[in-house]
Amino acid sequence: MSLRVEGARKAFRAGGVVALDGVDIATEDELLVIVGPSGSGKSTLLRAIAGLEPLDAGRVLIGDRDVTSLPPAARDVAMVFQEAAVFPHLTVAANIGIGERARGAGRRSIEARVREVAGVLDVDHLLDRMPGELSGGERQRVALARAMIRVPAVCLLDEPLASVDAESRLRMRGEIRALQRSLGVPMVHVTHDQLEALAMADRVAVMHGGRVLQCDTPTALYARPATTAVARIVGPLPMNLLASEGRVVGVRPERIRLGGDGLRATVLAVEQAGEECLVRLEAPVEVVEGDLLARLPWTAAPEAGTSVTVTWRTEDEHHFDATTGNRR
Ligand code: ADP
């Protein structure tokens, strides 16, 4: 099955906001993660695919079907939201099976399907519990199980891990990946957490200002960001962007070294992060955005206020056009 969005545009009259400014995406049997800062249009795009938000222009195609003017129920799309909406007065099993029951499936067949999908999402030991007896992560898995009990044509997840604690979140990343593999349909997952995106995705679409700036594998996005904006959004830290004779030179903080014959700099601050540290530097170069940052092993941490030299290898440089911000 394939999912395509072509030339999607959407403006909200209130506030005159252009939420989608010509979005194209094409995906197949894979986990596509949409990442971008808050307000970049991610939810609007997902809602448009689901049929919850009519587009001003553009098309949504699922397989060979143009579903642009179809209502949500006719699109065969499963969607899970940030806040798992489960019915508090129904057991986990009844919550998961509710859609099948509404479709008039028999009791035996519902029970079998509930068991199967509960197994995939690791909630089979919770089937007799009430939602009030579940953790946030468990509730979210129940919501996923309910949405995926029947294999949909397309699966949409809107920040499903946002309100789940850090430990469950790590585990659920893997479970969502496994779910996509077992369903074998396009799964589009929205998050503002780019590390989550890089960790989970087959491909990542980076959104900013209602546009998709780049859509690529996590490895390619990190190694070859197409624009300075992508270079700032994707990675463990924003890329350093330095003005240099009509172009912008980018160097990742994790590629910066101290010492040797390089740029003179003053250490403004040092923050420890486990075995590493984040060093904020001031140097006689024009930093296009933010501060000059270096990520170093904690054992190599300099003292704040001291003077150091900063170096990097030429092969670790990324070059961008100063006017357009596009990779050169
Ligand atoms: P994201 O999911 O990336 O945070 P959204 O798609 O929710 O972004 O929103 C994109 C832009 O559209 C934002 O500026 C938001 O304020 C605006 N927006 C979203 N929904 C509405 C709405 N129903 N009415 C008016 N503006 C909206």
Per-residue pLDDT reduced to its tens digit, 38-97: 999 999 999 999 999 999 999 999 999 999 999 998 999 998 887 767 888 999 999 999
Q: What is the CA radius of gyration of the chain?
A: 23
Name residue 270's beta-bridge partners. Answer: 279
Whether 205 lines ligand 1, by a CB cut-off of 6 Å, is no
The predicted-structure confidence for 221-232, as pLDDT tens digits, reads as follows: 999 999 999 999
What pLDDT score was predicted for residue 236?
87
Which ligand 1 atom sits closest to the C-alpha of 43? 2
CATH topology identical between 3-228 and 238-321: no
> If 0-12 CB within 10 Å is exposed, 13-18 middle and 19+ buried, where does residue 237 land?
middle
Percent of the chain with pLDDT over 70: 100
Q: What is the CATH number of domain 3-228?
A: 3.40.50.300
Percent of the chain having pLDDT more than 90? 71
Q: Which residue's entry shows tokens 């780049």? A: 214
Query: Which pLDDT score is estimated for 272?
Result: 95
Span 126-169, pLDDT tens digits: 999 999 999 888 888 898 888 888 889 999 999 888 877 888 88
Class of the domain covering 238-321: mainly beta
**Residue 271: is its pLDDT beyond 90?**
yes
Position in ligand 1 atom list of the atom nearest CA 158: 2
Would the pLDDT of 5 be above 90?
A: yes
61-70, 189-198, 275-284: the lowest-pLDDT one: 189-198
Domain limits of the chain? Answer: 3-228, 238-321
| ipTM beyond cut 0.90 | yes
Please identify, by atom number, the ligand 1 atom nearest to the C-alpha of residue 47.
Answer: 6
Q: Which ligand 1 atom is the nearest neighbour of the CA of 37?
A: 3
Q: Is pLDDT at 305 greater than 90 in this prediction?
A: yes
Q: Is the CB of 38 under 6 A from ligand 1?
A: yes
Q: Residue with the nearest Cα to atom 14 of ligand 1?
A: 39
Nearest residue CA, atom 22 of ligand 1?
Answer: 12
At 161 the pLDDT is 83
Residue 46: other Cβ atoms inside 10 A:
22
State how far the alpha carbon of 80 is from the alpha carbons of 110, 114, 209, in Å: 20, 17, 24
Ligand 1: which residue has its CA nearest to atom 27?
A: 12
Q: Kindly report the average pLDDT of the chain as a whole number.
A: 92
- Give the per-residue pLDDT at 151: 86
